[in-house]
Amino acid sequence: MAEKRDYYEVLGVQKGCSNDELKKAYRKLAKQYHPDMNPGDKTAEAKFKEVNEAYEVLSDEQKRARYDQFGHAGVDPSYGAGGAGAGGFGGAGGFGFDMGDIFDSFFGGFGGGFGGSTRTRNPNAPIRGNDVNITIGLSFMEAAKGTKEKVTIQRLEKCDSCSGSGAKAGTTAETCSDCGGTGQVRVQQRTPIGVIQTTRTCPKCNGKGKITKEPCPDCRGMGRVRKTRTLEVSVPAGIDDGQTFVLRGQGDQGLNGGPAGDVNIMVTIRPDPLFERDGFDVWCDIPVTYTQAVLGDEIVVPTIDGKVKYNVPEGTQSGTVFRLRNKGIQYVNGKGRGDQYVKVNIEVPRNLSTKQKDALKEFEKLATDKNYEKRKSFFDKLKDAMK
């Protein structure tokens, strides 16, 4: 197994960074290495997967805590343990150990008091499956209007060969002889102040109460196998870059009858040549000719719903912004939508003929300060400043 890089190093953040810093770093790298931006680049594809793996762990509070304490071994049962079958993982968060059990084994479970017993987690209780995190790339219009996408995920599902029991077909798990199937063993210790009785996780069956002597060869006794699935998802209209929507119950299957996890789908949006988004508003620049700006004209303006006509008033200045109400982005899962703002850029004509230049010079001779209010105001201020 190739040595994994530190997840904080992968995302270029410091340990203990805030969730906002983490998300900002992830979004930057996800865009940089996204397959849509690097078609056919295997190195970028590997980087993209590495970045997603790091963010999946560090963005989850519980996984991040385990990673900070135990490193990769705390979040990946196969890391340094000889593969998925080693170690018998399968507990909280998709792993088979329980931190309470670990502390009990170290400290003897003294929380139960003298002559009593500790209360530990039931290893056979239902456990929710892990979430699956993926990223998809959309065009500006797909995000604005909503779309249907097919996504491919890998998730843990019940092993068909053993029906999730973990035992080889034709065999069954046996009741643990040490704990009698309870998963717990009582230990008594004599001390100068009396006998202290504690309850610990059974070391023989790891608290499961049963022992599988012949594990299923397909799932190695785990009861679940990783499978690739393609799902069709409906992307909600109005979703923004970096936002996530959820497919409930489509993640890893739970354990012991627990519910399945979710699929969290993060969206990255490719830049559009015409439109720029600001919240639920849309901005675009429109070039107009010098004559159109001076005399006014009806122009055609593109919107996300198609083309509309707009009357540019006489004397429009370069940089003027006008608003088209309710022509922006639809609110996600809500009523109403933003506006579209159109910025006017006056294009100064180039490559003029002699006749055109003469016409402009004649026009300029007829112009007065009344026609150039900004210029008149500027020179009036300049005269006052130079006194």
Residue numbering of the annotated binding site for Zn(2+) = 159, 162, 176, 179, 202, 205, 216, 219
* Measured distance CA(87)–CA(181) in Å, rounded: 20
Tallying the residues shown for the chain, one arrives at: 387
- Both tokens assigned to 59: 């963005």
Q: Are 184 and 120 in contact (CB under 8 A)?
A: yes
Residues flagged as binding site: 159, 162, 176, 179, 202, 205, 216, 219
Q: Are 337 and 331 in contact (CB under 8 A)?
A: yes
* Measured distance CA(63)–CA(69) in Å, rounded: 10
Q: Are 324 and 302 in contact (CB under 8 A)?
A: no
- Both tokens assigned to 237: 């209209």
What is the torsional sign of CA 61, 67, 69, 73?
Answer: positive
Q: Are 137 and 114 in contact (CB under 8 A)?
A: no
* Measured distance CA(175)–CA(9) in Å, rounded: 46
Least Cα distance to 145 among 235, 233, 237 occurs for 237
- Both tokens assigned to 342: 């159109």
Give 180-208 as a DSSP string. TTSSEEEEEEEETTEEEEEEEE-TTTTTS
